[in-house]
Amino acid sequence: MKSRIKLTITYIIPFVLLLVSGFQLFLQPTFLNTNDTSTMEALLDGTAREPISGFYFQGGAISQMLLTENILKEIEDPSLPSDSQPEEIKNRLGRVLLGQRLQIFFYVFLAVLSLTSFLSLYFKAFFYAFLNRVLYFFGFIHGLFSMPNIALAGASSGKAEDLFWVIPSLFLAFAWIIGMVYLMFTIGKLFSKDDADRFYSLKNLREDESEFRSESNRNNSFATALLHFLGIVALGTLIGNIVYIPLFVLQKNYSEPFGILIAGAVIAVSAFYIRNYLKFGRSPELSTYQNLALGISYLQVRFIRIALMILLVLILVVVFILFLFNLLTINFGILESLFPSIDSRQNL
């Protein structure tokens, strides 16, 4: 009975986060306090009527991005004189627009992750635990950031009766956070390995391929390793001059065609990988569309793992650079203490 309740909860959570993503993209709840005179929105709503305190729905991240784009186009209108196009405002709006696009990308990613997490759970794929843990992590972050907003909205209303919805909302957000943490640690025990075995052949595909490699390929000599290294350097130089530099010039001068090119390339590569996933991991118990859904879910697993690996590498590089810089600073300090006549900081 307990496992059935837990399974039902895990089925519901992806749809809750999918609903949250849809609201953030298209509608956002906003608390309006007419007693707050620090903002013009509390006094003017465009209807020549005094607004009423309470919750309202305004446009989501997509409509806000479109509004920012329209404002930026009006400021950058070539018919306007150059002195009426302040560079500081344009740069600030450009940063706001970039943040809004990243926000839209995040909520679209969360919506897709919600669907793929549910599909992997429903069809009992071997990677269901990984996808749902990532989903619960984002759910934990969303609940953590929602608590200050709820408390701030209740405090800004200035009415005692608003505590009747603020306290239950805070309690619900706290219970959501605790539930996300609990599920992150226990989701892997929901099914046994024998039950969740769909697409399992993809998990050991690399190990299976290694069994067919010859011993000569496994025991490479120094000369072979050197030839491989030189080949990689030559290939990297060739790709850099033929592919990377033209792509950089295209991105710098033709941003929209470059975006279309990148989107088309990602879709083509994704279709290629999904085809291979279906070829090696197709389950005879599922239909064609169900296997396709699992193939898309496994593709997102690969994307997330690659993104985590890139993030880990970047963190290690930044930590190494900071460590090296601090070590050099300490060495320069020691040299200054030993030889006061040396001004080593001018070399930093």
Query: In this structure, are 251 and 159 located in the same domain?
Result: no
- Phi, psi values for residue 57, rounded to 5°: -110, 125
Residue 347 lies in a domain: no
**Residue 58 bridge partners (DSSP):** 28
For 7, 107, 115, 176, 247, the CA distances from 197, given in Å and listed in that order, are: 17, 30, 19, 30, 41
Domain endpoint, select from 182, 199, 216: 199
Residue 334 lies in a domain: no
pLDDT digits (tens, 9 = 90+) for 262-282: 888 888 989 998 988 888 888
Q: How many domains in the chain?
A: 2
For 40, 94, 148, the CA distances from 89, given in Å and listed in that order, are: 20, 8, 30
DSSP annotation of 30 reads: E
Provide the pLDDT for residue 228.
80
Query: In this structure, are 23 and 150 located in the same domain?
Result: yes
Query: In this structure, are 241 and 123 located in the same domain?
Result: no
Q: Compute the Cα dihedral for 99, 100, 105, 106 and give only its sign.
A: positive
pTM attached to this predicted model:
0.76
For residues 30 and 56, is the Cβ–Cβ distance under 8 A?
Answer: yes
Residue 343 lies in a domain: no
Query: In this structure, are 114 and 263 located in the same domain?
Result: no
Query: In this structure, are 28 and 84 located in the same domain?
Result: yes
pLDDT-derived band at 82 (thresholds 50, 70, 90) equals low
Provide the pLDDT for residue 220.
57
The rounded mean pLDDT for the chain is 78
Residue 331 lies in a domain: no
Query: In this structure, are 153 and 246 located in the same domain?
Result: no
pLDDT digits (tens, 9 = 90+) for 135-176: 999 999 988 888 777 666 665 555 555 566 777 778 888 899
Query: In this structure, are 228 and 272 located in the same domain?
Result: yes
Q: Which of 277, 293, 297 is nearest to 201 (CA)?
A: 277
CB atoms under 10 Å from CB of 183, counted, come to: 20
**Residue 29 bridge partners (DSSP):** 57
Q: Which amino acid is at 38?
A: S
Residue 262 lies in a domain: yes
Q: Which of 6-15, 51-60, 163-172 has the highest mean pLDDT?
A: 6-15
Judging by beta carbons within 10 Å of its beta carbon (0-12, 13-18, 19+), is residue 64 exposed, middle or buried? middle
Query: In this structure, are 179 and 248 located in the same domain?
Result: no
Place of tokens 């759970």: 121
Residue 212 lies in a domain: no
Query: In this structure, are 244 and 115 located in the same domain?
Result: no
Q: Can you tell me the distance from the alpha carbon of 72 to that of 94, in angstroms, rounded to the nearest whole number?
A: 8
**Could you tell me how far CA 135 lies from the centroid of its own chain?**
11
For 32, 43, 145, 146, the CA distances from 152, given in Å and listed in that order, are: 12, 19, 12, 10
Token output for 167: 């306290």
- Phi, psi values for residue 78, rounded to 5°: -65, -20
Provide the pLDDT for residue 251.
73
Higher local confidence (pLDDT), 3 or 294: 294
Query: In this structure, are 91 and 152 located in the same domain?
Result: yes
Q: Can you tell me the distance from the alpha carbon of 96 to that of 69, in angstroms, rounded to the nearest whole number?
A: 10
For 61, 94, 150, 341, the CA distances from 40, given in Å and listed in that order, are: 21, 24, 22, 61
pLDDT digits (tens, 9 = 90+) for 231-271: 887 887 888 777 777 777 777 777 777 778 888 888 898 99
Residue 27 lies in a domain: yes
Q: Which amino acid is at 276?
A: N
pLDDT-derived band at 1 (thresholds 50, 70, 90) equals low
pLDDT digits (tens, 9 = 90+) for 64-78: 888 888 888 877 777
Query: In this structure, are 19 and 167 located in the same domain?
Result: yes
Residue 339 lies in a domain: no
Domain enclosing residue 83, as ranges: 1-35+48-199
Query: In this structure, are 261 and 304 located in the same domain?
Result: yes
Domain endpoint, select from 183, 199, 215: 199
Compute the residue count for the chain.
Answer: 348
Q: Which residues contact 50 (CB under 8 A, 6 or more apart)?
A: 34, 43
